[in-house]
Structure 1
Amino acid sequence: MDEVLADYGASGVKFRLAERPEGRRLFDKHRSGDTLVVRRLDRLGRSYQDVVDCMRHFVRGGVIVRTVINNMTFDGATTDPVQQAVRDAMIAFLAATAQAQAEATKIAQQAGIAAAKDDPRKYAGRKPSYRRAAVEAVRGLLLQGQGASAIAKATRLSRQTVVRIQQDSGTVEQALARWGM
């Protein structure tokens, strides 16, 4: 029976496949003779070690792994040591490529954020969850002596936002100015 497992919740950069919910299901479901079809091997993980460990687990368990993009098939059927070495070298190469790509993406992302922060017209920080009217309402209620929880309920802001407005009014004003609110 064909079944599609999609892993949207956790990052392959931060978590090994076996630590992700759908990854655990993948390990639990596949038995000898099953075929696992993946878009590319890097969908199994973004670290070299994770991809290699996953592939070893599946191949040793008799699972056939096929890639859609490269149209490659990896299995444990061969007993020829040379073919096994070539298979393992190809897996290692694809796993190393996946990790290199993840690292390059992370570096490029960090550089982009740093460049955007250098030009305040491009990076205004995270958009505040409040507007000027809400800030004024919070300040008015604070002057009346109301507590943060009651103010949060009345203004539909989180309690933490009310506390931030109360304790760090300078940052609140800067955020409102940057976003033109």
Structure 2
Amino acid sequence: MRTVLYARVSTADQNLAHQKTQAEQAGFVIDEVVADHGVSGVSTTLRERAEGKRLYDLLRRGDTLVVRWVDRLGRNYADVTEAIREFMAKGVIVRTVINNMTFDGSTSDPIQMAVRDALIGFMAATAQAQHEATKASQRAGIEAARGDGKTYLGRKPSYDRAGLEAVTDMLGQGTAGTSEIARATGLTRQTVLRIKADPAAADAQLASWGL
């Protein structure tokens, strides 16, 4: 039985290392990392990604699939829920680093199944909603900058798109403090606090630099 980490970043210049680091800091012993670089979780399903597709052939009954959060599998509600349920049907346990959620198909109790499936649906819907909210704030920031005729970009952000997503995800879960998030993402507490105070502005700053 193996523990496989699936990692994904949506642009080729983003760093996957922090997803493995977070998993190890959470106590997971990773046997293998399967990663997709520069692939959108919105426009491509898990099966359409080169390494995502490989997961379906690689994982066997009793294996554990680890993801930082369900948004790494994708940001499309239907795709994510279908993927998790298919893995569970194969006897694969799906676990998340954030909140240490566990999904498996071993239970036959109808109440437990209903709660499990409702939680899967909620988390998948949240992943899609977060993406849509981020894109909306990004567009608003770009339009505001254009409207003001600004050319000064300010200091380049110390975080990239993946780092911003990691911080906002952990803040959204509400289970980690500022210092813990800083350690997990490799950012300073001050940076985490700025993102927490105005995530839309943090996103717009990345957009202004074309990141």
AA paired with 1:97? T
Pairwise CA distance, 1:53: 0.9
What residue in structure 2 maps to residue 13 of structure 1? 42
Percent of counterpart pairs with the same letter? 65
Aligned twin of 2:89: 60
Higher relative CO (CA 8 A, sep ≥ 6), structure 1 or 2?
2
Give the corresponding residue for 1:83. 112
1:131-159 residue CA offsets vs partner (Å, 9 max, x unmatched) = xxxxxxxxxxxxxxxxxxxxxxxxxxxxx
CA–CA separation in structure 2 for the residues paired with 1:21 and 1:8: 10
Q: Structure 2 regions of 5+ residues with no counterpart? A: 3-30, 154-211
Q: Give secondary structure in 2 for the equivalent of 1:117.
A: helix
Q: Secondary structure at the match of 1:6?
A: strand
- Determine the C-alpha separation between the residues in 2 that align with 1:53 and 1:123: 45
Q: Distance in 2 between matches of 1:121 and 1:68?
A: 40
- Structure 1 segments (4+ residues) deviating >3 Å: none
Which residue in 2 is equivalent to 1:24? 53
Superposed counterparts of 1:1-181, under 5 Å? 1=2, 2-122=31-151
Aligned length: 124
Q: Secondary structure at the match of 2:72?
A: helix
Give the greater-gyration-radius structure (CA).
1
* TM-score, structure 1 as length reference: 0.65
Write 1 or 2 for the structure with the bigger share of strand: 2
Q: Which runs of 5+ in 1 are unaligned?
A: 125-181
CA RMSD in angstroms, aligned pairs only:
1.5
